[in-house]
Amino acid sequence: DARVTQTPRHKVTEMGQEVTMRCQPILGHNTVFWYRQTMMQGLELLAYFRNRAPLDDSGMPKDRFSAEMPDATLATLKIQPSEPRDSAVYFCASAEGAEQYFGPGTRLTVT
């Protein structure tokens, strides 16, 4: 049963620290998405890649967030420096066609 995996599942960090979240998409899926979920904003698309190339990162605060796909099996989302308003659940999803399959999420708390 192929699944998207994300690490870590939980992260607590202090303001100003760097945070890196990792995602392993489903093997064979060529599109990878990063979403953020908060109570206030709901589910928001931050960025996505197809065949490892960034297609859209317009939802991402450029000054502190960066997303990369070093290879087809790994996507990373980095926040530097982190701020309390970044506290949220970050989801990775992968897709081969129109259906996106989500990972379990990384719950980030920035104090």
Partner 1 sequence: AQKVTQAQTEISVVEKEDVTLDCVYETRDTTYYLFWYKQPPSGELVFLIRRNSFDEQNEISGRYSWNFQKSTSSFNFTITASQVVDSAVYFCALSGYNTDKLIFGTGTRLQVFP
Q: Does 25 bind partner 1 (CB under 8 A)?
A: no
Phi, psi angles (nearest 5°) of residue 30:
-105, 0
d(CA 41, CA 111): 20
Q: How far is the CB of 37 from partner 1 (least distance, A)?
A: 9
Binding test (CB under 8 A) with partner 1, winner from 48, 65, 79, 90: 48
Q: Select from 48, 43, 44 the least CA-distant residue to 29.
A: 48
Q: Does 33 bind partner 1 (CB under 8 A)?
A: yes
C-beta of residue 39 within 8 angstroms of C-beta of residue 46: no
Q: Which stretch binds partner 1 (CB under 8 A): 18-26, 63-71, 77-85, 95-103?
A: 95-103
Binding test (CB under 8 A) with partner 1, winner from 31, 66, 76, 87: 31
- Non-local (6+) Cβ contacts of 94 within 8 A are 4, 23, 25, 26, 29, 31, 32, 33, 100, 101
Q: How far is the CB of 83 from partner 1 (least distance, A)?
A: 23
Q: Does 64 bind partner 1 (CB under 8 A)?
A: no
Query: In the complex, which residues of this chain contact partner 1 (CB under 8 A)?
Result: 31, 33, 42-43, 45, 48, 50, 55-56, 89, 91, 93, 95, 98-105, 107
